[in-house]
Amino acid sequence: MFVLVNLKAYDCNSVAIAEAAHEVAEESGTRIAVSPQSAYVERVAATGVETWAQHVSPTGYGSHTGSALAEAAAAVGAVGSLLNHSERRLKLADIAAGVDAASEAGLAVVTCANDPAQCAAVAALGPDAVAVEPPALIGGDESVSTADPDVVTEAVGAVEEVDEGIDVFCGAGISTGEDVESALELGASGVLLASGVAKADDPESVLRDLVEPIS
Amino acid sequence: MFVLVNLKAYDCNSVAIAEAAHEVAEESGTRIAVSPQSAYVERVAATGVETWAQHVSPTGYGSHTGSALAEAAAAVGAVGSLLNHSERRLKLADIAAGVDAASEAGLAVVTCANDPAQCAAVAALGPDAVAVEPPALIGGDESVSTADPDVVTEAVGAVEEVDEGIDVFCGAGISTGEDVESALELGASGVLLASGVAKADDPESVLRDLVEPIS
Amino acid sequence: MFVLVNLKAYDCNSVAIAEAAHEVAEESGTRIAVSPQSAYVERVAATGVETWAQHVSPTGYGSHTGSALAEAAAAVGAVGSLLNHSERRLKLADIAAGVDAASEAGLAVVTCANDPAQCAAVAALGPDAVAVEPPALIGGDESVSTADPDVVTEAVGAVEEVDEGIDVFCGAGISTGEDVESALELGASGVLLASGVAKADDPESVLRDLVEPIS
Amino acid sequence: MFVLVNLKAYDCNSVAIAEAAHEVAEESGTRIAVSPQSAYVERVAATGVETWAQHVSPTGYGSHTGSALAEAAAAVGAVGSLLNHSERRLKLADIAAGVDAASEAGLAVVTCANDPAQCAAVAALGPDAVAVEPPALIGGDESVSTADPDVVTEAVGAVEEVDEGIDVFCGAGISTGEDVESALELGASGVLLASGVAKADDPESVLRDLVEPIS
């Protein structure tokens, strides 16, 4: 089980959350990663926690002012990157080029997508995993397991048909340990979380509760 | 065999080319369509030629100023639309929504893509056909059959694996009847053409030569 | 006073609204224009009403599949175009190029902008008029004259400082004849309307009421 | 005189260049800043050199995955940001919001623009300085002082008319100390450089030569 905490552009203490995540990961043996703003990747990685970029550009070295170079993220400690998050939707050709750019820099890639058909589409581009983010669940309070469990099983099936080696993560509707457990039962092998952890008064205890059922 | 003549934003006589295409289509029994600027769809369709939009927006009716509403294209005579052309690359989520918007308006859809992997990706979104446009061939003088024949056969294979009902067109590197014949042999069931016809002194004779080997 | 009715991508009878607008314009002596979907420009212009495009591309003739060529809009009867509408925001460089492309094709241009500072910015690019669209008023029921009258007078002042020859239109918050009158008093020389006319049961009577106080 | 070295996404040693720039700045008394990839801002700032972001997002704190939060750049040591660079052109509304976001985070802002008219446009949005980047000079070997000196004087005039407090920088065509001197004579109060320094075998000596005539 892989738990990725997306800190977005939240007004939060990225390093403190990273330390908490590292602590809980060590303690529980669960793989937990933190995905901070690009400028914070270095200090988040310095805590020892597995660190992911939130996005990398579809370009390599060159004249690309204002890009998010995969090699730079890797050089300061990132080991993976999200791509095509619902808040940063990309052109199809740029997802393909972004997967290549990230891979070339040694980063793992999780491409996000809205529904099973789009999950199959991004799977064809060769990422390491696909995260399904049903628009109806994004940023809401509903749980994927009660609101729309089929979307996960269908995404798992659709991605499997393209490439059995690609994992499927549940990218929305997760806020409790039960949700994590449900995602696992539905066939997901990872979850993406954001505000539930990042905006919590005590992120460490939230994370501990989250991974408890699966540790 | 399906031949689609993309008039882009060329400085050409769209109606005259449409009439020529209609004439050659009738004469040869080959399916030939013309894809003009949105503003010209109505007058091109009035010639009797099969008429395609160059793009439709991923949205339906609503507050979308400056969009290209699929229903409007259909209402003035279009029967299909290109989507994600190399000169109009779209976000993955917008290709998916564009395929849906076009289908709902009764338009056939050909989604374009760069290479076999991206062809498989767009195929997963359910278009009627996929056109492979290798960047190296776009706008060039080289023929797909001599320069990069594998890309067509691989695209055909990749799309077939996703859905056998989806046709594959050759979207670049076509300028002669021999190229059309080669595309057919490589497994394509259609071709996209542009300047070779649109900028010709005598589009009708170019089209006649193009379809001659396959009529 | 200039009244522009933006039909967006509404599910409405564009030709019937155009006929109503033409009728009321003739009757009242007020300049009324209709801005339909690109595909409908030809049939709207055929009613005799002044016809505007909702958007044109920042490019001229060439390899621009899926663009909205200013020359094509002009060829089928448009005499002007909106640019940078709040539903079709453009890059600054593309607004500049779009103003040029439209002008070269003989189209008048109204560039839209959010607030007085952005109105001054687009005025520097040389359009014929600027329409101020305060985000808070867009699509709402509030009237610009009661909700935010200062934004119009400030936009008028800001644009005047850049170029006294550029008109300022009120691009949101207009639904009654009183609103039109208020806009006029605040220094605007035109208004943009949309759903109030396009979705009305009787667009002709709505338009008649709108222009009544200024005729 | 302000010299900003834009490291783009070049395959270069950002920290070594920063150290060289810091050294030359101290030595010569010239203000020299370095603008690295977002992920490198912290380590570049640690050298003591004035550090600038290459871009910041038009949004503040919130659900903006993959954004470049101005507050994050500031927190790791940036004191300014480029905006609307020719390689990262933005929507007008996003330039306006980006200027606000950067200012709120305490960052100075240099907005880039193509020509005098666009310089006036971005000046209306309230940045600290405007950099004029004539497309013909970008990335080329020609010097602004010989190829297109009028564009700088016209940009200075156009910006002055909008706001006398806004500086104008020369954003292209600078590679020697003579170019810097010419830019100064043409009315610019700063220059943007990129490959001339970033790709040099000995960036320190290049920088020393550059600032020599103005120290």
Residue A108 has pLDDT above 90, yes or no: yes
Report the C-alpha gap between D133 and D117 in whole angstroms: 12
Residue C85 is a catalytic residue? yes
Residue C214 lies in a domain: no
pLDDT of residue B215: 81
Residue C199 CB-half CA count within 13 A = 13
Indicate the residue of D93, D94, D117 with minimum beta-carbon distance to C96.
Answer: D117
Q: Please indicate if any CB of chain C lies within 8 Å of the CB of D125.
A: yes
In Å, how far from its chain's centre is CA A196? 14
* Summary mean pLDDT of chain D: 95
- Say what the pLDDT of residue D172 is: 87
Is residue A36 a part of any domain in this protein?
yes
Q: What percent of chain B has pLDDT over 70?
A: 99
- Identify the active-site residue in B55, B85, B154, B204: B85
Using 50, 70 and 90 to split pLDDT, how confident is the model at C136? Answer: confident
User: What's the pLDDT tens digit per position in A116-154?
Assistant: 999 999 999 999 999 999 877 776 778 877 788 899 999
- Residues A101/A57, Cβ–Cβ less than 8 Å: yes
What is the number of structural domains in chain A? 1
Q: Which domain holds residue A124?
A: 2-59+66-161+170-208
| Structural domain contains residue B76 | yes
Is residue A213 situated within a structural domain? no
φ, ψ of residue A51 in degrees (nearest 5): -120, 135
Look at C38 and B68 and tell me if their CB atoms are within 8 Å: yes
Strands (E), C26-126: 31-35, 50-53, 80-83, 108-113
Checking if the pLDDT of B28 tops 90, the result is yes
Average pLDDT over residues C115-137: 94
Predicted local distance difference test score (pLDDT) of residue C167: 97
Of D142 and B44, which is predicted with more confidence? Answer: B44
- The pLDDT of residue D149 is 87
* DSSP per-residue letters across B78-94: --EEEES-TTS--BHHH
pLDDT digits (tens, 9 = 90+) for D67-114: 999 999 999 999 999 999 999 999 999 999 999 999 999 999 999 999
Count contacts between C and D (CB, < 8 Å): 73
Backbone angles phi, psi at C115, to 5 degrees: -155, 175
D145 φ, ψ (degrees, to nearest 5): -75, -30
Which pLDDT value is given to residue D162?
96
With a pLDDT cut of 90, the percent of chain C lying above it is 88
Q: Indicate the Cα dihedral angle D21, D22, D28, D33, nearest 10°.
A: 60
Using CA atoms, how far residue A183 sits from A132, A173, A201, C123, D168, in Å, is 11, 10, 25, 53, 55
B175: which 2 tokens? Answer: 């300028």
Min distance B197 CA to chain C CA atoms (Å): 13
Q: Is the pLDDT of residue A89 over 80?
A: yes
Would you say residue A214 has pLDDT above 90? no
**Residue C95: helix, strand or coil by DSSP?**
helix
Where residue D106 sits, what CATH number does that domain have? 3.20.20.70
Cβ neighbours of A147 (radius 10 Å): 15
For residues C9-31, average pLDDT: 98
Tell me the percentage of chain D whose pLDDT exceeds 90. 88
pLDDT digits (tens, 9 = 90+) for C138-176: 767 788 777 888 999 999 999 999 999 999 999 988 989
From the candidates C22, C50, C55, C133, which is the catalytic residue?
C133
* Residue B147 confidence class, pLDDT cut points 50, 70, 90: confident
Q: Is residue A104 part of a domain?
A: yes
Nearest chain A residue to B127 by CA distance is: A117
pLDDT for B205 = 96
The pLDDT tens digits for B9-25 are 999 999 999 999 999 99
Q: Is the pLDDT of residue D17 over 80?
A: yes
| pLDDT above 90 (res C197) | yes
Residue A7 has pLDDT above 80, yes or no: yes
The DSSP code sequence of D118-130 is: HHHHHHTT--SEE
* Kind and range of the H or E run holding A142: none
B213 in any annotated domain:
no
Q: Give the per-residue pLDDT at B27.
A: 96
Interchain CB contact of B54 with A (< 8 Å): no
Would you give the DSSP letter of residue C165?
T
Set D19, D22, D55, D133: catalytic member: D133
Residues of A annotated as catalytic are 85, 133
Task: Kindly report, residue by residue over A157-202, the tens digit of the pLDDT.
Answer: 999 999 999 999 999 889 899 999 999 999 999 999 999 999 999 9
What the block records as the tokens of B110 is 């050909």
In a domain, A81, yes or no: yes
- Between A28 and D140, whose confidence is greater? A28
Out of B165-174, D29-38, D139-148, give the one with best mean pLDDT: D29-38
Active site residue B133: yes
pLDDT of D148 > 90? The answer is no
pLDDT at A16: 98
Residue C205 CA to residue C24 CA, distance in Å, equals: 9
In a domain, B55, yes or no: yes
Q: What is the mean pLDDT of residues C93-122?
A: 98
- Indicate yes or no: CB of A82 within 8 angstroms of CB of D65: yes
